[in-house]
Structure 1
Amino acid sequence: MSFRKLMTAAALLGLPLSGCTSGFIPEGGPSQIAASQTAAVQIGSTQEQMNLPFVLVAPSLELARSLSGEPDRFGSLPRRAQAQVSAKIGDVVLVTIFEAGSGGLFTSPQAAGNSGGGGNYINLPAQQIDRNGNISVPYAGQISVVGRSLPAVQTEIEEKLKQRAIEPQVVVTMQEDRASLVSVIGSVKTGGQFPVRNTQMRILDAVAKAGGPDGTSRSLEVVLQRGSHTSRVSMRRLMLDPAANAAVLPGDTIYVQPVSRSLNVFGASGENLRVDIDVDNMSLTDALGRAKGFNDTRADISSIFVLRMEDRRALPADTENLAQFPGARVPTVYQIRYDTPGGIFVGNQFKVRHGDVVYISNAAGTQLRKLLELVGLVTRPAREIQGGFIPNY
């Protein structure tokens, strides 16, 4: 049957060849008309969604390289702990007093007989800092400790003893750091509280003290809570990026948890599915490969879209009318062409993120092809009769 006869048959059967094709051409779900006609209550209009503003970006190779994949790091948290850990109520300190010669204030009779005129020292009993923040030192009285560095406490004790002891030198050490603790919980082998010493402890150090990850999940996220602020970063980035491995402070809580990071691929792909982001810096090309590439009979590979809420600081400064979008995040659609070698290079550098939606458009002739297939199904019986395929009885 000729194309002209095919179109004539379609017209006689009342099939629309243009305009609304709902009900005649296969669809993936209820049509807009069906939804609006059967709704008991309708709030708002889909026209509002059609008019929702967004930014359309055709990324250059440089922009694709600059866009980050995984969340960067604990950027808003202090990178470095305090130089000295100050004492707090409940800590236990040890005070050692040295004198330059024998016969001094803190020299015992045994030490005086054995020293031969040499230097002497005494270790005072370990003391827990009381609720007033003080410790007691003989002949020096009550010494305020809380909130001060240990060298400052040492200097004060020396000043108060120098009129009575022989050239006193004082060393104050933290025997039990009961207050300067960091908590590590979640998917670790031995969670608990660990002291933050004068050395700078970082996130991975604290996780190591808890025995490391328990091995129940391949993909982990580390959540750091400091006061009212919470930040998170992937375990992979912590291990690969030293700048992300922030210093911890007393009172921090570190929570290690399994996490599922993924994006969705829709449209004319080989398969519509959720793609797990289980490698660092997964590219758009990687994600399309997981979705079995393009559907050769449907895809318009010049229109590959990635939809996300983008940090406005990541967008080019010359993006027009960006001021109309309030807040730090801007609804952004990136369009990348895979019908040119240059576009494929961009797709290889474009890093996908958790929550992205990748949409592959249908080619312009897809709807027409559907219509022709439907007309062919309708006119097939007539063609079979005309060709003598159905016997006469």
Structure 2
Amino acid sequence: MGKTIARRAALLVLAGTVAACGLPRVGPNKSEIYAGSVEQQGDAFIVSINDRVTRATAVVPALGFDDAFLNAGIIGSDTISPGDVLGISIWENVDAGILTTAGAPASLSEIQVDGDGYIFIPYAGRIRAAGNSPETIRRIVTEKLASQTPDPQVMVARAAGNGTTVTLTGATGQGVFPIERPTRTLSAMLAAAGGVSVAPEIAKVRVTRGNQTGEVWFEDLFNNPALDIALRGGDRILVEADTRAYTALGATGGQSRVKFESKTLSAIEALAQVGGLQSNVADPTGVFVFRNETAEIANSVLGRSDLIGPQRMVYVLNLTEPNGMFMARDFVIRDGDTLYVTEAPYVQWTKLLSTITGSLASAGSIAALGNSVK
């Protein structure tokens, strides 16, 4: 009897010693997280996710073009721009004309429109070409020459090598591309360049025009035709993959920094991206999302109006509730979020018992070895 009591006492002492030393685990448990709440004199608001919370926090990055981009009309297929190269032919009805003789045209080839939009024609002077069509330029040249030679006949054509170009980076084909009749809009230019080189679901297209910049999701160009803006000479187009990411920690299938795989990402999709919960250790009642929330959203979530500045928020999902999976499906994960899953309470007890029994087995082996030496 005395030996049994002594063994039990030794077992309790061993258990206490092991527990005091601390067992390995993936992170804080639920009680430790709740201890950091505002209610417990901490600095984080802990909120259970419900329909109202999912609506208040469902913020997706707003991408689009402002009115300066949207209201810019499509450039006409025959509109001349700075950098264009023109070919001009002039006929005169006199034997000794100012530029040529009767029946033989004066051919002025490769006349480039300068940066200010002008060209120079002998005896006609400096003429505004940019913004005009070849027909308008023909009439202007004819009027200028008519006072110096009788009934001049003029032909104006845009030569190959359109000076109106855009710079395209990040697409399948990269380089400097002319704005031609088939490629006067953003989607048409991207298609002509071979499409995008990143997954369409996470591709963003940025257009810089002078000191203005607009950005749009690649898929939205096709879902919303109004976003398919008309291009202008000098536009710089950049196609890049979405850089948003979240961090997955705890009892999940993988612990890492994970990039978004779609424009919107729910909590259930975020868990799926890292392999879901570890079935042998995860606590489905302890799925947490840590986030720094803006004061506007924090006030809306908490039903307050006095919070100022960013607030630390901890959102809690209980997947075992009747609608827990629906809440996880509706809750939107945002850039910079930390998704953490706690271990089930029994896991620490299992580790404790395993450590104790292992220690006892080791002690027994040592005792047996001592007896054999004696």
Partner of 1:188: 172
Q: How many angstroms apart in 2 are the aligned matches of 1:174 and 1:55?
A: 67
Partner of 2:70: 79
Shift of 1:325: 1.4
Pair 14,294 (structure 1): closer, same or farther in 2 beyond 3 Å: closer
TM-score normalised over the length of structure 1: 0.61
Q: How many angstroms apart in 1 are the aligned matches of 2:72 and 2:259?
A: 35
Bigger mean CA offset, 340-349 vs 79-88: 79-88
Partner of 1:342: 323
* Partner deviation per Cα, 1:244-278 (whole Å, 9 max, x = no partner): 54443322222345677654321122443555544
Aligned with residue 357 of structure 1, among 313, 338, 341:
338
1:208-287 alignment to 2 at 5 Å? 208-213=191-196, 221-226=203-208, 227=210, 235-236=218-219, 238=221, 242=225, 245-257=228-240, 262-273=245-256, 275=258, 277-279=260-262, 281-287=264-270
Q: Secondary structure at the match of 1:15?
A: helix
Q: Secondary structure at the match of 2:167?
A: strand
Q: How many angstroms apart in 1 are the aligned matches of 2:338 and 2:162?
A: 48
Q: Secondary structure at the match of 2:191?
A: helix
Pair 317,263 (structure 1): closer, same or farther in 2 beyond 3 Å: closer
Q: Secondary structure at the match of 2:70?
A: coil
Q: Secondary structure at the match of 1:344?
A: helix
Partner of 1:135: 119
Counterpart amino acid of residue 90 in structure 1: G
Partner of 1:90: 83
Mapped contact 1:93–1:173 kept (Cα < 8 A): yes
Q: Secondary structure at the match of 2:272?
A: helix
Q: How many angstroms apart in 2 are the aligned matches of 1:132 and 1:261?
A: 42
Aligned with residue 24 of structure 1, among 16, 22, 43:
22
TM-score normalised over the length of structure 2: 0.63
Partner of 2:49: 58
Q: Secondary structure at the match of 1:324?
A: coil
Pair 349,6 (structure 1): closer, same or farther in 2 beyond 3 Å: farther
Superposition CA RMSD, Å: 5.4
Number of aligned residue pairs: give it: 341
Pair 201,313 (structure 1): closer, same or farther in 2 beyond 3 Å: farther
Pair 325,66 (structure 1): closer, same or farther in 2 beyond 3 Å: closer
Mapped contact 1:263–1:276 kept (Cα < 8 A): yes
Q: Secondary structure at the match of 1:345?
A: helix
Partner of 2:31: none
Pair 391,124 (structure 1): closer, same or farther in 2 beyond 3 Å: closer
Any gaps of 5 or more consecutive residues in structure 2?
A: 28-40, 91-100
Partner of 1:324: 308
* Partner deviation per Cα, 1:86-124 (whole Å, 9 max, x = no partner): 755432346799xxxxxxxxxx9779xxxxxxxxxx998
Pair 323,66 (structure 1): closer, same or farther in 2 beyond 3 Å: closer
Q: How many angstroms apart in 2 are the aligned matches of 1:238 and 1:338?
A: 37
Q: How many angstroms apart in 2 are the aligned matches of 1:368 and 1:74?
A: 53
* Partner deviation per Cα, 1:57-87 (whole Å, 9 max, x = no partner): 7352783598256x55334582353454775
2:296 equivalent to 1:306: no
Bigger mean CA offset, 296-305 vs 76-85: 76-85
Pair 141,353 (structure 1): closer, same or farther in 2 beyond 3 Å: same
Mapped contact 1:184–1:255 kept (Cα < 8 A): yes
Q: How many angstroms apart in 1 are the aligned matches of 2:224 and 2:292?
A: 25
Q: Which has the higher helix share?
A: 2
Shift of 1:341: 2.7
Q: Secondary structure at the match of 1:304?
A: strand
* Partner deviation per Cα, 1:153-197 (whole Å, 9 max, x = no partner): 6699399669969999999775567543111133524x2212235
Partner of 2:97: none
Counterpart amino acid of residue 315 in structure 2: Y
Counterpart amino acid of residue 182 in structure 1: V
Q: How many angstroms apart in 2 are the aligned matches of 1:207 and 1:141?
A: 40
* Partner deviation per Cα, 1:340-364 (whole Å, 9 max, x = no partner): 1322112123344554421112345
Q: How many angstroms apart in 1 are the aligned matches of 2:53 and 2:132?
A: 48
Pair 131,270 (structure 1): closer, same or farther in 2 beyond 3 Å: closer
Counterpart amino acid of residue 10 in structure 2: A
Counterpart amino acid of residue 13 in structure 2: L
Mapped contact 1:135–1:144 kept (Cα < 8 A): yes
Percent of aligned positions with the same letter in both sequences? 25
Mapped contact 1:61–1:346 kept (Cα < 8 A): no
Any gaps of 5 or more consecutive residues in structure 1?
A: 30-49, 98-107, 112-121
Shift of 1:26: 2.2
